[in-house]
Amino acid sequence: MTRRLIVEADGGSRGNPGVAGYGSLVRDADTGALLAERAAPLGKESNNVAEYTGLIEGLRAVVDHAPGAAVTVRMDSKLVVEQMSGRWKIKHEDMKRLAAEAQALAAEISSAGGAVTYEWIPRAKNKDADKLSNDGMDGITVRRDTWGDDVERASQGGGVERAGAGADADGASSAGVGAGDPNGGGEVGGEAVVEPDEKPTGPADLGRPTRIVLVRHGVTDFTTRGCSTVAVARTRRSAPRVATRHAASRARSTGSSVTATCTS
């Protein structure tokens, strides 16, 4: 039985020509399972170039993994769909070059026993490919394949993220929640994973309290009445010290308890 696949593709340009990017994905037509995702920036290009590139990358993903499939290409670009279906002429040289590349990939699929057809869809039904094309315009390169066990995502300056490849024989992932702990605990990036129902058992230990004495220089209403002001703060420091008014304010701003006393 021939496998049936759906390619959804899109492209965009902010300025036309301007900052451009493409996006495409491959789904299993029978199960709806997502099999591949592609996105990348294109520099300064037109909207049509970006859309054709999205088509090419979607078809290339099929050729790489399931060249004998029956493929339905869905795009919200009327121009690309009509030109690739042979109903509209291709006049622009860039479009001719890209259309020829897409046709060559479609011919590979046909020669392997598959087929490629084209279908126009409203933009509202092409949201996933549109999102990927916006990733491309944002400078993000996406290459994710789930034909097998590996999932890859490469981001500009961000390396490659792999999911699924680290699962052990029992299905436990080698990274994230559940790694090394049968009860679902573990560590990610060196930080403990706290379950949602865990609650702090009490206030944090701030250590030994330190007494800070604030001495005011000059004559005030207190000094004329024969009083002095003492500020006492609980801090994390372990040694007492005489502080300025700024230090006492800082103690208050950090949640320390400050009290003022007046002695006659």
pLDDT by residue (tens digit) across 185-240?
333 333 333 333 333 444 555 667 777 766 666 665 555 555 444 444 444 444 44
Q: What pLDDT does residue 95 have?
A: 93
**What's the mean pLDDT when you consider all of the chain?**
73
Task: Look up the pTM and report it.
Answer: 0.58
The Cα diameter of the chain in Å comes to 103
**Distance in angstroms (rounded) separating the CA atoms of residues 116 and 105:** 10
